[in-house]
Amino acid sequence: DTEVTQTPKHLVMGMTNKKSLKCEQHMGHRAMYWYKQKAKKPPELMFVYSYEKLSINESVPSRFSPECPNSSLLNLHLHALQPEDSALYLCASSGEGFGNTIYFGEGSWLTVV
């Protein structure tokens, strides 16, 4: 089973709203990732968690707040977003050791109005 589950699949939110994207995996992976993908562009790395600790933040604005409550869950809290933040948000996970495959979820489509 190589499944990474993301919810919701679609989210529309106003610029003053607070919402969250959720990601879950049950593969025992200890690294989890958030990527952002704009239309017709490649995915861009946002955050990496390793053993439930934030290890990489690719200079992401503070209106995006990641959280890793346990080794199976990864959240992305959204607050005061801008319309240009509308994108596909992808979660991924990987096991231990160099060369281990990174598996992606199907993504959450976010529209900020």
Partner 1 sequence: DAKTTQPTSMDCAEGRAANLPCNHSTISGNEYVYWYRQIHSQGPQYIIHGLKNNETNEMASLIITEDRKSSTLILPHATLRDTAVYYCIVRPPLTYNTDKLIFGTGTRLQVFP
Q: Which residues bind partner 1 (CB under 8 A)?
A: 2, 4, 6, 31, 33, 42-45, 48, 50, 53, 55-56, 88, 90, 92, 94, 97-99, 101-107
The nearer residue to partner 1, 23 or 112, going by C-beta atoms, is: 23
Measured between alpha carbons, how far is 19 from 10 in angstroms, rounded to an integer?
12
Closer to partner 1 at the Cβ: 81 or 92?
Answer: 92
* Tokens 């529309």 -> residue: 12
Nearest approach, Cβ of residue 70 and partner 1 (Å): 18
Q: Is 75 in contact with 21 (CB distance < 8 Å)?
A: yes
Closest CB 65 distance from partner 1, rounded Å: 19
Helix (H, G, I), strand (E, B) or coil at 1: coil
Asked whether the beta carbons of 55 and 45 are under 8 A apart, the reply is no
User: Shortest gap between Cβ of 19 and partner 1 (angstroms)?
Assistant: 20
Pick the closer one to partner 1 by CB: 79 or 104. 104
DSSP 101: P
